[in-house]
Each structure stands twice: as structure tokens, then as C-alpha cells.
Amino acid sequence: MKYVVMIGDGMADYPLKELNDKTPLQTAHTPNMDYIASNGVNGQLKTIPSDMEPGSDVANMSIMGYNPQKYYTGRGPLEAASIGAELGDGEVAFRCNFITEQDGSLVDFNADHITTEEASELIETLNQSFYRFGKFYLGVSYRNLFVVEDHEMARLESTPPHDVVGEPIEEHLIQPADDERAKIINGLMVDSREILRNHPVNLKRVEKGKKLANMIWLWGQGPKPQMDPFKDKYGLKGATITGVDLIKGLGVYLGLTNVFVPGATGYYDTDYCGKAKYALKSLEDHDLVFIHVEAPDEAAHAGDVQEKIKAIERIDNRILGKLMDELPEYDDYSVSILPDHPTPIPLKTHIRDPVPYAMFSTGGISDDVDSYDEFKARKGSQGLKEGYRFMDNLLKYADP
């Protein structure tokens, strides 16, 4: 049996006025998704536990079959894994953003999309100045890391910088403010201003009229998650295809093969056909592949309905279409389609509502649902399930 799990990030939505009260999934032309729904079984998944933030990392961890309430330790350790920074026992990884600070306020959470080359120079300087406290690692653009050898740092409360743009920095530093460890991390953030302000990188940015990368923001910290390898838990050799660091990081901890696809960008312009091609290739020596496409989520964050519909249709046509053509070379195969979480266009952000899923398998039963969308899935035979039950559900359905 070969398995494909197709994840369209943020695909699910609300009925929209501009689409005559239909959702983008209901509006888009998706013959392959509809084939999966009508020839397979349907249901709803609660991928985000009620007490957790609706992040893609949490949602994708659920879909891969691991309960985030038990295993999720933060964004930092997932990103560390994706850039090859292995965390030792007792180490804690913080996400380190370069931000723009002005008159005590957080003006830009990504420092005007600082380039990776510029970030590299700043990271080097930070490592020279702050080597006694921990180590900075270069990631991509404003998204970098800071690793400390002190597992107690994990319990501090930190704030995502994109949530507090325009607000006074003082009010959003690490809590509890009187904690000795919080004081250390807050000290690094505040002192970084002195070090970065007149850095050659920033002097050049002033000349170019760009906002300064004049402060670091440390957040999303945690130790490495302790998860059993996917192969041990589900008996399947798995692979992931994604342009997104957090999901690559999940793959690393689960022992999944992160398949490199040239042209997979994590944006609208991602190479859909390339993802299909590499998914098929990975199935030659793997049992299961998770294909993740970020584009519908990006379109929803931008509030762009047409771009979201286009992304859904490209997933259907260029990825699922190709797979449904080629997979019959295997006697038994299964294809599932789902989002990780809804990203409704009117809200431009993630929500924790359950997502619709459809799973098809050669030889598997089918229910009465005849097409794939948010509302039809509610009438499916699989009902509403906790997200981390998805893998069990899939195996039970496809390989009873």
C-alpha cells in the first residue's frame, strides 16, 4: 500500500459574500478532490486542541499522528531541526527575529525583510558579543535561532513579535519579569540595540532607505520534542515535501525523509508539478508521503480570494491530477486531502475550527458524500475526530 496525504495549508474558509456565500473550496474547480471525496470516506478533524494556538506546526503535528498537547514544545526546536542545529538534552532553542525598534516601539517584526546575507553578518557579531550566554544560528532572512544550555528557560513566557507590532517593547518582554532567567533573556534583547544600531549592515541599510535591523526578539522557545519515530509508531517509512521550515523540522524529529524539491518556495510561485513529480519518486522507496503546500494560506493572509482559489485549483490539477494518473501503477494506494487549519479570508489569520478531510483507498468503502468541501465533510461517515487520530483513521480505513 502506498499512501499520499495532501495538505493544503489554510484551505478551509467561511462562505464569502463575494463568492455568493460559497467557500473558496466550494467555488474552485476540483475534480480530483471531489473524486477522492465521492469514492472514499469523509469527516472532520480537530487539528488544534482547544487550549493551543492555531499554528501550522501544531496542526501538522496532529495530522502526522502525534498529540500536540503531549509532544509540542515550541517553534524554536522545530526550526532548529530544519536548519540542522541539533539540540542536546537540556538545551533550549529560541526563535530569534531581527526586528525594527523605534522610540521604544516594535515597528517591524521582520526588519524590512532583512536579507540572509545581512543576517549572517549580524549573527556573527551577536555571537562575538553574547558568547557567554548561548549560541546564535543563521536561518533565513529575519528568522534565526538562539540556543541556550538551560532547560529551565523553556518555562518562560514569550510573545510572538508579529502579534505586537506598533506596541511598546517594554510591555511585551519575557515574563515573569522578575524571574532571574527572564532578566537574562530580556537583557540580551535590550542590549542588542547597542550592538546592532551602528553595525555596518545597518549603516548601509540607512543609505538604502531601509528600516534598521536594530534589535533581536527572542521567543517560541522549547527543548527538543520527545517523539517516537513515525516508522516505529505507524510501521510506515515516510517522507515529507514542503517549503516550510517548521514542517521540515517536524519531519526531522519523526525520522521522515525531507525530500528536496527544486522550486518549492513556500509561496504562490511554488512548483506544483515538481512536488507531484518528487512525491511519486519518493514513493518508489517510501510507504507514505506528506505533501504540504503553503500557497492557499499565504493567499488567505493577504485576503486575496482569487489567488486562494487558484492555489486550490493548482493543488487539484497539478498535484492530485498527476498522482491519480500515475498511482494506479501500484496495486494498492490511498490518497487523502485536507487543510491543516482554516485560514478564513475575512479574518486573514488561522482559526482552530475543525477541518474537512477526505480519504480514498483502492478497495476501500465509500460514503454518501459526493464532493469535497467544509460542509459536505460534516455529513461524512467518519464524524468529528481529534486531529492526532488521523493516522490511525487512515490506516484502519485503507488497510483494515
Q: Would you tell me which residues interact with Zn ion (CB under 5 A)?
A: 9, 56, 297, 340
Helix/strand/coil for 248: helix
Nearest distance, CB of residue 295 and Zn ion, angstroms: 11
| DSSP symbol at 398 | H
Minimum CB distance to Zn ion smaller for 292 or for 322: 292
Minimum CB distance to Zn ion smaller for 221 or for 343: 343
Nearest distance, CB of residue 308 and Zn ion, angstroms: 13
Minimum CB distance to Zn ion smaller for 63 or for 156: 63
Q: Which residue, judged by CB position, is nearest to Zn ion in the bound state?
A: 56
Give the bridge partners for 97, in sequence order.
143, 217
Would you say how long the chain is, in residues?
400
Give the cell for residue 300: 488567505
Name which of 316, 351, 42, 335 is nearest 308 in CA terms. 316
Nearest distance, CB of residue 56 and Zn ion, angstroms: 3
Nearest distance, CB of residue 101 and Zn ion, angstroms: 29
Query: Are 57 and 250 within 8 A, CB to CB?
Result: yes
Minimum CB distance to Zn ion smaller for 78 or for 189: 78
Kindly provide the b/e burial profile for residues 244-261, where b requires at least 16 CB atoms within 10 angstroms of the residue's own CB.
bbbbbbbbbbbebbbbeb
Minimum CB distance to Zn ion smaller for 216 or for 295: 295
Give every CB contact of residue 298 below 8 A, 6+ residues apart in sequence.
9, 266, 267, 268, 307, 311
Minimum CB distance to Zn ion smaller for 56 or for 270: 56
Nearest distance, CB of residue 244 and Zn ion, angstroms: 8
Backbone angles phi, psi at 334, to 5 degrees: -140, 135
Minimum CB distance to Zn ion smaller for 343 or for 393: 343
Nearest distance, CB of residue 343 and Zn ion, angstroms: 7
Nearest distance, CB of residue 350 and Zn ion, angstroms: 6
Give the cell for residue 187: 537583557
Residue with cell 498511482: 327
Query: Are 81 and 258 within 8 A, CB to CB?
Result: no
| DSSP symbol at 324 | H
